Every structure is written in structure tokens, then in C-alpha cells.
Chains A and B, each alone.
Chain A
Amino acid sequence: MKNLFLVLIVFFTFSCKDNSEGKKDSKDFSTENIDKNFKDISKLKVPIYNFSQLEPLLNKNNDTTNVINFWATWCKPCIAELPAFEKLNSDYTNKKLKVILVSLDFPENMEKQVLPFIEKQHIKSEVILLDDPDANNWIPKVSEEWSGAIPATLINHNGKRKFFERSFTFQELEDEVKKVI
């Protein structure tokens, strides 16, 4: 019995170690292609806003279409749909459209999760970290329809607002944007 226990401990210890090595490898792979400008995390800046600072960006009444996506680095479906928002941002550069990615990561994870993620994924859209604990107060101000689950997206064009508590493909997102423009 004791031996079995020992063997198990050795196995688990070994497997943990191995796993972290695997992780390291995968990191090396993905940073390989990132251009040099993006290697320096210290150059990246993500402002931390409370809701009253964020709110004006959600309610802009001008000729720019604002696409505001609520996400977090730990949210799998959010991360899966980010390329669609990035593509929208780059495809519509000349068409008065702005994508804002509002991260709901905890601010203490800025250095170790949020910035490295932005760097690694080469995110070009504007990123803001929303740090406002009183979600019950501000969630309905984004949309009465929002239960609080992420991903969630708000499209606002000159006061014409559409809210979605769901994931998007690029095509689906573009279709919704075309409806409000």
C-alpha cells in the first residue's frame, strides 16, 4: 500500500512537471511569429475604468458605429470569437467603425494574464479593463436584456443599439453591424 502511494506521488509529481514543460513549449511556438514590436509588454497599455468612465463610450451618438464586446481571458467562448471582432476592426477601418474590447478580468491579473494575452494574440482593437464590483448596478445600464453571462456584445450606431448575449462568427457579427449602419 505504502509503495503504491509512493509510486502515485512520483507519478503525479512527474506528470505535473512534464505538463509545465509542455506549456513552455507551446508558448515558445506561439511567440515565434510575433513581430518584435509586440514583444515588449511594458509598451502595452490597457486603461482600467469604472463603469461611469466606460458609460460614455457605450452611449456615443455620432456617425461612428461602436462595437463593444465584453470578454475575459478566462472565458473560452469569448476568446474563440475575438478573431471575428479583430477582423471586423481591421476590415472596417475606413468605414467609421470602432471595436472596443471590455475585459472583465480582475485588475490584479493585468500583468500576468491580460497584457500577455493581448501581446500573444496580437490584439489590435482597443482594450479597456472594467473594474467595477457593483455589477448589479451597471449590467442593466449596458442592457436590460443582459443576464451577466459573457461573451456579450453591444452595437451602437448613433443611438441605435443592439445587444447580444451570445457568441459570434465573423459573418454573424458583420450581418448585425450592417443592420444598424
Chain B
Amino acid sequence: MKTRSKLLILAIAVLGIVTFGSCKNEQKKTSEEVAVNTTETENSEETPTAVGYNIGDTATDFKLKDISGKMVSLSDYKEAKGFIVIFTCNTCPFAVASEERMVALDAEFKSKGYPVIAINPNNPKVQPDDTFELMQAKAKEAGFTFPYLYDDSQTVYAKYGATKTPHVYLLQKESGKNVVKYIGAIDDNVKNASAVKDRFLANAVNELLAGKEVSVKETKAIGCSVKQ
């Protein structure tokens, strides 16, 4: 009986996802139902995530599909002094809580040479809320002014060493290379933008703009694990 009702719930939930992709909120809840009722672990958390970039490493360029359909690379930005690369996704509560701040960061720093480049590292087969179509909807709804790229081969986040969303990498162009200058959180209060005391990322960009060394190079924040 228990297994049967579990199966039924699963069937209903899957049907919900497949058929009603347009209903964002409901869909999110439905996929949570799937998660709640599936005891099977779905991803390969066994892979150690200790690899990735350290401060001072050269970050790789990439060619990823933007929600506009255009392919985007860091090398397209001839005038940029660097990049605010943010691994983020559609529904992680910490990512959602950071959306307005990402838009504000782009508004503050794009004109100064540090545009925001957002990348969604999640595999939509594991996290159905992160399909390319739902990324397009998210960007529209949240008013993203920056590229929102789909890491569909799931290779870029792994090279950077991003373990979670949101996860920020600040890069500075130095003789043709993109050097990692800061890794971590946007600021010290992900839940409440108005209670932020320390804007880690903005401080780091401002230090680079002033020709200084970044003083706080790495910070930690809670995030949703990347869904591989």
C-alpha cells in the first residue's frame, strides 16, 4: 500500500511537471513532492569538489548559450576590465534572494568595466526547475540585465570549482588572462539585503578599480549544491 501510494504520488508529480511547465510556483512545489517522496539519491555527490580555482589562478573562457539564444564568451567583451561570474539558478532560495542584488551589481559595475555574467550549472534532468525555457522566464521575471548562460555540458562550473548556487568568481583581465581575484558570497547577509553590513563582492570590485589588492579574497555562504 505504501509503495503503491508512493508510486501514485510520483506519477502525479511527474505528470504535473511534464504537462504544466508554465505554472512556475506549482511546478516548484510539485518537484519538491517528488523529492520528498523519492528516497533514491539522484546525484553523484561522491565526486569530491575540492578541485577548482584558487585566488590567482587563470580562469578558463567558455562559449555558452545565453537565454537570448546567442553564444557568449568572455572574449566577446573587448572593453571589459574583468567579470563578475555568478553561478546561480532559477529556484534555489538563496539564489532567488540574491536576484535583485545581481541586477544592482550589474548596474553598478558594468559601466565601470565589470559586467555580471550569470551561469546556471544545474542539470535540468536532476533539477526540473532549471530548464533553458524556465531560465528565460526567470530572466524576464527578475529583470536580468546580464547574460544568463546555460552550462549544459556541466563542465564550466566544474572547472571553476563552484559547489553551490549562488557562488561568485570575480575575474580581472591581466595581459589577456582572466585572473581569479575573489571567490565566495555577494555579501554577508543573503536573506536580507537591507541588513547587509559587508558587501564583500562590491568591495572587491572597488578595490580592483582603485588599483588595490582585494583585501577579503574568499568568503563562505550557504547555497544549494550544484545538481549534477
Contacts and interface: CB of A to CB of B under 8 A. Distances in A.
A160 to B, nearest CB: 21
Contacts of A79: 35-36
A95 interface: no
A30 B30 contact: no
B22 A12 contact: yes
Interface centre among B13, B26, B42, by most chain A C-beta atoms within 10 angstroms, is B26
Interface residues of A, number: 46
Interface stretch (B62-70, B131-139, B184-192): B184-192
B26 A29 contact: no
B188 A19 contact: no
Interface string A118-147: 001100000000000111110110000011
Contacts, number: 147
Contacts of A75: 224-225
Interface in B14-30: 15-16, 19-20, 22-23, 26-27, 29-30
Contacts of A26: 8-9, 12-13, 33, 37
A138 B121 CA distance: 26
Interface stretch (B111-119, B140-148, B214-222): B214-222
A77 B164 contact: no
Contact of B189 (A80, A81, A83, A134): A134
Interface SS majority for chain A: helix
A49 interface: no
Given A75-B225, A149-B225, A25 B12 contact: yes
Interface in A50-65: none
Contacts of A149: 49, 163-164, 222-226
A169 B26 CA distance: 29
B163 A136 contact: no
18 contacts: A18-B20, A19-B23, A20-B26, A23-B33, A26-B8, A26-B12, A26-B33, A77-B41, A77-B225, A79-B36, A80-B40, A133-B188, A134-B189, A147-B49, A147-B164, A148-B220, A149-B224, A150-B223
Interface of A: 12, 15-16, 18-20, 22-23, 25-26, 29-30, 32-33, 72-77, 79-81, 83, 104, 106, 117, 120-121, 133-137, 139-140, 146-151, 165-167, 169
